Chain A
Amino acid sequence: MNRFVRSSPVSLVLRWLSHSLVWFYAVLLAAPLYYLISASFKDNNQIFLRPFHLPQREIFVTRPGNYREFEPLGFQNYSEAWGDVFLGQALINSFVVTVGALIVTLALCIPASYALARSSGRVVRAMERYFSVGLLIPGFAALVPAVLLAIELGLFQTRLFLVLAYPAGALPLSIILLTQFMRTIPRELEESAVVDGAGQFDILWRIYVPLARPGIATVTILNVLGFWNEFLYALVITGINRNVRTIQVAIPNLVVQGTTEFGVLAAGTVISIIPVYVMYVLMQRRMESALTEGAVKG
């Protein structure tokens, strides 16, 4: 910590204070997550009476002569959540929407970025400006008209509409990031191809796409996360139809006015997070750099 700074009693106190504050926030951050995971293995009684305890078999006295016993639940909450709101179907829907929207996004943003990176024509400059302004337009603003568009196209309550609409929101950032990446590819590499008479499409497909793979990976990670986690569009488009709704829309249905089984709710929520966390564990470095790049460069 103390790389450059000299110590005085005041600075020692300040340093101690800043360490404690940071770790205090870290505990605040971790506590709800711990609460979620531990609750997913308990029933309401255990959650209410022993909110932060590990799930365990336990006997305790409520009044003299009166005791309660907690049974370990195992994965019972998980199977209940699975059955109650049809999480199997919801996971399939989320998967279909995420993959479909990703394919459309890549099919649109790779050629566009190629054009933006290689051309300095006026039309293309205007396009770049168009997309960079788009970065600042929140998707929420277009929510209601988008539903009307879905109805108009006969795609209300379909996964297909999400597959088509999600890429629009993702395009500005994806194109800006990928364009920057493609600009770093040296143009000399394509010269021999040009001599061989290769057209634009050949150059894009055989030279730029393979070389831009890290950039494409960044865009893929960002968008997979964004599509998987999207809630409001999914809610208004697929909300009431359990055959097409995504997992983000299905989970809140575990909240029942007055009689919510918090353990089941927690288990469902954990199920919805697992795919993302698996992805994070498998490619932590790549994912961290993709997400920070998304914000820092975008």
Chain B
Amino acid sequence: MTSTLDESPPPTGSLVRPSGRKRPRGGGLWGYSFPAAFWYALFTVGPLFAMFYLSTQSWPGLLSDQEWVGLDNFRRMWDDPLFWRAARNTGKQLIVAIPVMIPLSFMLGYYLTLKPRGHRLLRVLFFTPGLISITAKSMVFFAMFAPNGGVNGVLDAVGLEELTRSWTANPSTALWTIVAVDLWSGIGWTAVLFAARLASVPDEVYEAASLDGAGHMRMMYSVAYPMAKDFVGVMTMLQFLWTMFNSAAIVLLLTDGGPAGRSTTLSYYVYERAFIAQQVGYSQAIGVVLLVLGIVGLVVIRRLIRQDF
């Protein structure tokens, strides 16, 4: 993980030190950072490396004995239709969620920086999904998507009864309920973050563009976007990571991966294999694949965002 990410400079501006400032060497100060580094190594880095070891074990259950099986777990994955289904589902989820979320939330963020009427109310509303837990979101949508829930209630009320269905239990919609919750909470929340970033673009820049006859669309694309480009890249990477790794919780709460694996994502599959099927080694082999895909995805996104400089 380290080597791939270290090759290029960190994605955010956060690590750029104010240059030219003298900073006398503080003797023995490294000792102050040691406990935190140790803690992080013990509870995050260590377990991360342990995952690679675990992926070579056959381990039926957290409390039972293990056995070295080499790369068997990875071979097994190749022949496991559920694994491929999970991989496809994660792919679908990413391909829909990211391209919809990032442009929409960027436009929405730009809209907020114009301070239109009601923007305070909008901000509070957009902020709310960032405050409430994944449990709360999932429970809200568990109720909304229930056979007698709010979504079907609305469809009934507007005369679209034929569209009503059991959303989370229907093979063709289960996965999309997960994506819907991601978009529901992600667009507004990301928009607030974009707005915070765009607030730093000076008014004069917009004024100059408007004197040249630029409309909002044009300003968004040729003024706001170039100035916030790095941040768009960072948000894309973060949303990618969140969607890819954190879907386990919401899948677990909303659909249990069902029906018949139709809404099983890779991250949920890691969870399901470890804690429900009690196949710890196999689960961690999938975890290794997920981690590798995550790193590859980050590198690809970075390339895509950088290339048209």
Interface residues of A (CB under 8 A from B): 1, 3-6, 11, 14-15, 18-19, 22-23, 25-26, 28-33, 35-36, 39, 44, 47-48, 51-52, 108-109, 111-112, 114-116, 118-121, 123-124, 127-134, 136-149, 151, 164-165, 167-169, 171-172, 175-176, 180, 183, 187, 200, 204, 225, 228-232, 235-236, 248-249, 251-252, 254-255, 260, 262, 265-266, 268-269, 272-273, 276-277, 280, 284, 288, 291-292, 295-298
Contact = CB atoms under 8 A, between A and B. Distances in A.
Nearest to B280: A144
A29 B125 contact: yes
B247 to A, nearest CB: 9
Interface in B260-309: 267, 270-271, 274-275, 280, 283-284, 287, 290-291, 294, 298
A19 B116 contact: yes
Given A30-B125, A119-B25, A141-B48, A35 B140 contact: yes
A22 B111 contact: yes
5 contacts: A26-B121, A115-B33, A137-B48, A144-B287, A172-B40
A134 B44 contact: yes
B15 to A, nearest CB: 6
Given A121-B30, A141-B290, A295-B193, A51 B154 contact: yes
A26 B125 contact: yes
Contacts of B193: 292, 295-296
Contacts of A266: 139, 143
Nearest to B5: A133
Interface in B13-55: 13-15, 17-18, 23-26, 28-33, 35-37, 39-40, 42-48, 50-51, 54
A116 B134 CA distance: 33
Contacts of A128: 15
Contacts of A171: 36, 39-40
Interface of B: 1-2, 5-6, 10, 12-15, 17-18, 23-26, 28-33, 35-37, 39-40, 42-48, 50-51, 54, 62-63, 107-108, 111, 114-118, 121-136, 138-144, 146, 148-150, 153-154, 157, 184, 187-188, 192-193, 196-197, 206-207, 209-210, 213-217, 219, 231, 235, 237-238, 241-242, 244-246, 248-249, 253, 267, 270-271, 274-275, 280, 283-284, 287, 290-291, 294, 298
A291 B130 contact: yes
Contact of B132 (A47, A120, A175, A273): A273
B143 A272 contact: no
Given A3-B114, A165-B43, A124 B33 contact: yes
A116 B33 CA distance: 7
Of B30, B32, B108, B267, most buried by chain A (CB within 10 Å of CB) is: B32
B36 A118 contact: no
A170 B275 CA distance: 25
Given A29-B129, A252-B135, A167 B143 contact: no
A229 B133 contact: yes
A254 B23 CA distance: 56
